[in-house]
Amino acid sequence: MITLLKSKPVLFLLLLPGAALFAQHPVIERYVQEGLNSNLSLKQEQVALEQNKASVEAAKRLGYPTIALQGNYTLATGGRAIDLPIGDLLNPVYATLNEMTQTNQFPMVENVREQLSPNNFADVKVRTSMPVINPNLRISRNGEQEKAAIQELQILRAQRDLTYQIKTAYFNYLQAGEAVKIYESALELLKENLRVNQSLLKNDKINKAPVLRIEAEISKVKAEMVQAQTKQHNAAAYFNTLLHRPMDAGIELANMPSPDSFLLVSTVLQLPDVQRREEIQQLDKALRLNQLSLDVEQNFNKPRLNAFVDLGAQGFLTNLDKNVPYAMAGLQLEWTLWNGNRNRWQERQVELETQQLNLRRQDVVSQFQLKQKVALEEVRAAYETLKATTQELASANEYFRVVERSYREDMASYIEYLDARTQLTNSNLQKSLKAFQLWGQLAALEREIIY
């Protein structure tokens, strides 16, 4: 029998022999693992986690050196040019020399107009660059790590919800199957009763009214059984969909014991702290991400320094010589001194978003505290209801036994017999329904308080 004792702080239920309510049942555990391994929604979450992990690795390498081959080749004509008065400078000198030497060894030269855009010019280099000072690199790496952690928590959250869905879907399938069995049993009882009454009718011991009433009742039970079978098929389709299996795949029936045979121990322990819930931890990490965003805005006026080294060659392809190779090294400094106070307003946006997250966190904590208490109370109510329906079923069984015996001895009317049979069937249905509802409430309790 299940013992539920109210303790002053709150009630914490442990199912013996293990803490997880259904972890010890091999069939349920196997289906849960199958669902966790094959569910498409969960696989999408796993892919998203791998994307986040890739982003973390990329962020870690932002501080690594970058080596790149760079090159360009230009052809140009027209554009800006510079006039070099070489003829004006040299021709008077050359004329004097020719006059002194009585020769023409020094010919006259023309002034030169040189095009500034390089024509037939190539520049090829290998540039190695890396950040020396950049305060946002660490922030970027930490931010990607927080995002990956949020996604990991999202997977745990999805696993928790999927586990609950699989268990409740399985219990719904079992409950629908039990309903079909109960209707089948009732139908067999009615058919046997019909056979007996038809025999009595042939022997003129009764009139036709009981036979007609039984036939109507058989039609009614058949219709109810069809509805129960439809519910069973739909429950099976939903369960198989959660496990990403064909909707008509077979489902193994677990030999679920009655919840009455389990011992639930009431201990004076506090419920698990809701701060451990994945949803709360996700909000905590979102707050840390906001703090990192605030750090980025506050770093706007800190200098960034990069270093680079170039090894390459450049020159006009029509005049290559030993001076073509070159090496160059340098530093690049960027220091924002003023940006129109954009950073101040961006900081304000982050601060307001942080306030929203804090308020949301307080609200979510309250909601989960309420959910824990409601889950416990619903288990208590489900157990009390099951106890009542169990007693009702025992009374219905005894009442049917007495009425059936009286009916066979012609001491009770057929209406009384039929009423007793209907009451027995309904009691069986209620007992089955309430038993599986209790299992479902225990699954909900597990989702809320077991980690």
User: How confident is the model over 390-417, as pLDDT tens digits?
Assistant: 899 999 999 989 988 887 787 877 778 7
Q: How far is CA 75 from the centre of its chain?
A: 56
Highest mean pLDDT pick, 107-111, 191-195, 309-313: 309-313
Residues 401-408: contacts with CB under 8 Å, at least 24 apart: none
Q: In the chain, pLDDT over 90 holds for what percent of residues?
A: 45
Q: Hey, which CATH number is domain 12-71+135-301+341-449, 3.40.50.880, 1.20.1600.10, 1.10.10.410, 3.30.450.20?
A: 1.20.1600.10
Whole-structure pTM value: 0.77
CB under 8 Å to 37, separation ≥6 — which residues? none
Angle between helices 209-242 and 414-449 (to 10 degrees): 10
The whole-number pLDDT of residue 23 equals 47
Question: Per residue in 237-251, pLDDT tens?
Answer: 999 999 999 999 999
CB under 8 Å to 69, separation ≥6 — which residues? 124, 125, 126
Nearest to 434 by CA among 221, 260, 223, 220: 260
pLDDT band at 306 (very low <50, low <70, confident <90, very high): very high
* CB contact at 8 A, 141 and 60: yes
* CB contact at 8 A, 306 and 130: yes
Residues carrying CATH 1.20.1600.10, the chain: 12-71+135-301+341-449
pLDDT band at 271 (very low <50, low <70, confident <90, very high): low
Separation of alpha carbons 80 and 84, rounded Å: 13
Residue 196 has pLDDT above 50, yes or no: yes
Q: In the chain, pLDDT over 70 holds for what percent of residues?
A: 91
pLDDT band at 16 (very low <50, low <70, confident <90, very high): very low
* CB contact at 8 A, 324 and 123: no
Residue 276 has pLDDT above 90, yes or no: no
* CB contact at 8 A, 280 and 364: yes
The whole-number pLDDT of residue 260 equals 52
Highest mean pLDDT pick, 70-84, 146-160, 171-185: 146-160
Q: Comparing 319 with 314, which gets the higher pLDDT? A: 314
Residue 13 has pLDDT above 50, yes or no: no
* CB contact at 8 A, 89 and 97: no
Residue 66 has pLDDT above 90, yes or no: yes
Question: Per residue in 327-380, pLDDT tens?
Answer: 999 999 999 888 888 889 999 999 999 999 999 999 999 999 898 888 888 888
Section 303-323 average pLDDT = 89
* CB contact at 8 A, 421 and 348: no
The whole-number pLDDT of residue 17 equals 34
In this structure, what token pair is assigned to residue 135?
């305060």
Nearest to 368 by CA among 157, 85, 155: 157
Separation of alpha carbons 33 and 27, rounded Å: 10
The whole-number pLDDT of residue 267 equals 36
Nearest to 129 by CA among 181, 48, 70, 171: 70
The chain-wide mean pLDDT, for the chain, equals 85
pLDDT band at 257 (very low <50, low <70, confident <90, very high): low
Separation of alpha carbons 380 and 447, rounded Å: 16
